[in-house]
Amino acid sequence: MAASVMLSPARWSLPEVGDTVRFLATVRDSNERLIDGARVVWSSSDSGVVRVDSHGLVTAAGRGRAKVFAKSGAVAQSVPVVTAMFNIELLFRDSVPPEHREHQARFVDAANFFMVALAETEVPPIPDVTRIPLGIGSSWCGGTTEARTVHGLLVVVTVEEGRYFAAGGPCIRRDGGLPLVGRMTFSPSAFERDPDADFERLVRHEMAHVLGIGTGRGWNPLSGSPHDTHFPGSLAVAAFDAAGGSGYADGKVPVANDNVHWRASVMGCEVMSAGCGPQGIVSPTSAITLQALADMGFTVDPSMADPYTLPEADADAAAYAFEDDAVLPDRDR
Ligand SMILES: [Zn+2]
């Protein structure tokens, strides 16, 4: 008898009405054993937004947000799906090393995480965008390409042996400051990481830099009293308080001395912390990070954040070396 249903992907954004995605339901019994061929009944919370057929094929029917349900016996699971809302388009300039092909899906997962969380962000499409980063041989954000329309955010991905283990940041901004075009770069050795934990964390981390953490026009940490750099955005501070930081006496939200990450000695292994524990830890993308993006102009659904609470003070956390990560320069459009 079915005891659990797991759906993959865990969330999804369909850019245009008519687009489709296939969901898979994995049904297990109370001993965690896979039930092969278990009967699954699919449904949608709003058929005006998404329709789902009896095989888990989901079609965008209209603009909005909905949930797709899969039910087997008495157990059900749902995943959020957004349609025709804030879009993040990935443009791969270089191929992912073939032996690490499974890592490519983590880029798509990371983009979907942010597309669902930032879905309500309304930005106009910008036609005839040029100066899109080319990658190898160009400066960080240099290069040009055929003019193209950018609907939400275009993220160029390059894979190159270079100065950085991984890096990310915006290249062209919209009026008002939100990113229009950004770039992430990864060294081939970055792909040696476990795709499901370390690598997904790394991609989300760099994508959050593209979105504005450490890089945005609204990223304005205050220095505070000596060595107490902090990001004062009111929504991020409220999320910090809600995560257990209400009694924290120094400046909120605490930022690392590099000025572009959260301070690991307070925040632990949050995805945007400058230092984190040993590899293999899945770092949550907290409501603090999402709300910092809201402070910078995105419209955010903080309920899409990963579960996160502040750790007890961890003196060792600051000592962990994080990857040789860097933030790209940017320019205004
Ligand atoms: Zn970083």
Do residues 125 and 181 share a domain?
Answer: yes
Do residues 44 and 59 share a domain?
Answer: yes
Q: Which domain holds residue 274?
A: 234-320
What's the pLDDT at 318?
Answer: 44
CA–centroid distance, residue 208 to ligand 1 (Å):
8
Average pLDDT in the chain: 88
Report pTM: 0.90
Q: Is residue 325 part of a domain?
A: no
Do residues 73 and 93 share a domain?
Answer: no
Q: Is residue 193 part of a domain?
A: yes
Q: How far apart are CA 206 and CA 135, in angstroms?
A: 16
CA–centroid distance, residue 185 to ligand 1 (Å):
12
CA–centroid distance, residue 274 to ligand 1 (Å):
7
CA–centroid distance, residue 179 to ligand 1 (Å):
17
> Torsions phi, psi of 290, nearest 5?
-65, -40
Distances, alpha carbon 176 to alpha carbons 217, 218, 293, in Å: 9, 10, 14
Question: Is the model more confident about 53 or about 276?
Answer: 53
Q: Is residue 147 part of a domain?
A: yes
CA–centroid distance, residue 5 to ligand 1 (Å):
35
Residue 3: pLDDT band (50, 70, 90) is: very high
What's the pLDDT at 277?
Answer: 54
The per-residue pLDDT for range 26-50, each reduced to its tens digit, is 999 999 999 998 999 999 999 999 9
CA–centroid distance, residue 325 to ligand 1 (Å):
5
CA–centroid distance, residue 73 to ligand 1 (Å):
44
CA–centroid distance, residue 168 to ligand 1 (Å):
7
The per-residue pLDDT for range 122-151, each reduced to its tens digit, is 999 999 998 888 776 667 787 777 789 999
User: What's the mean pLDDT in 190-202?
Assistant: 85
Q: Is residue 150 part of a domain?
A: yes
Do residues 21 and 61 share a domain?
Answer: yes
Do residues 29 and 130 share a domain?
Answer: no
Q: How far apart are CA 160 and CA 22, in angstroms?
A: 32
Domain boundary among 155, 180, 211: 211
Share above pLDDT 90 across residues of the chain, in percent, rounded to a whole number: 67
Q: What is the CATH number of the domain that holds 74?
A: 2.60.40.1080
Q: What is the CATH number of the domain that holds 167?
A: 3.10.170.20
How many CB atoms are closer than 10 A to CB 78? 16
Do residues 112 and 201 share a domain?
Answer: yes
Distance from chain centroid for Cα 70: 25
The per-residue pLDDT for range 63-92, each reduced to its tens digit, is 999 999 999 999 999 999 999 999 999 999
What's the pLDDT at 320?
Answer: 42
Do residues 25 and 67 share a domain?
Answer: yes
CA–centroid distance, residue 249 to ligand 1 (Å):
26
User: What's the mean pLDDT in 311-331?
Assistant: 50
- Number of helices (H) and strands (E), helices first, in the chain? 5, 16
Do residues 168 and 261 share a domain?
Answer: no
CA–centroid distance, residue 125 to ligand 1 (Å):
28
Domain count, the chain: 3
Helix (H, G, I), strand (E, B) or coil at 47: coil
Q: Is residue 161 part of a domain?
A: yes
CA–centroid distance, residue 182 to ligand 1 (Å):
14
Q: Is residue 328 part of a domain?
A: no
Do residues 92 and 202 share a domain?
Answer: yes
Domain boundary among 55, 83, 111: 83
Residue 319: pLDDT band (50, 70, 90) is: very low
CA–centroid distance, residue 33 to ligand 1 (Å):
39
What's the pLDDT at 326?
Answer: 57
Do residues 260 and 277 share a domain?
Answer: yes
Alpha-carbon dihedral sign for residues 129, 123, 59, 117? positive
User: What's the mean pLDDT in 261-273?
Assistant: 91
Do residues 92 and 79 share a domain?
Answer: no
What's the pLDDT at 98?
Answer: 81
CA–centroid distance, residue 324 to ligand 1 (Å):
8
Q: Quick check: 317 pLDDT over 70? A: no
CA–centroid distance, residue 247 to ligand 1 (Å):
27
Q: Quick check: 203 pLDDT over 90? A: yes
Q: Is residue 331 part of a domain?
A: no
The per-residue pLDDT for range 219-235, each reduced to its tens digit, is 989 987 778 999 999 99
CA–centroid distance, residue 275 to ligand 1 (Å):
9
What's the pLDDT at 330?
Answer: 44
How many CB atoms are closer than 10 A to CB 322? 15
CA–centroid distance, residue 205 to ligand 1 (Å):
6
Do residues 64 and 93 share a domain?
Answer: no
Domain boundary among 33, 53, 83: 83
Q: Is residue 329 part of a domain?
A: no
Residue 325: pLDDT band (50, 70, 90) is: low
CA–centroid distance, residue 297 to ligand 1 (Å):
20
CA–centroid distance, residue 191 to ligand 1 (Å):
16
Helix (H, G, I), strand (E, B) or coil at 192: helix
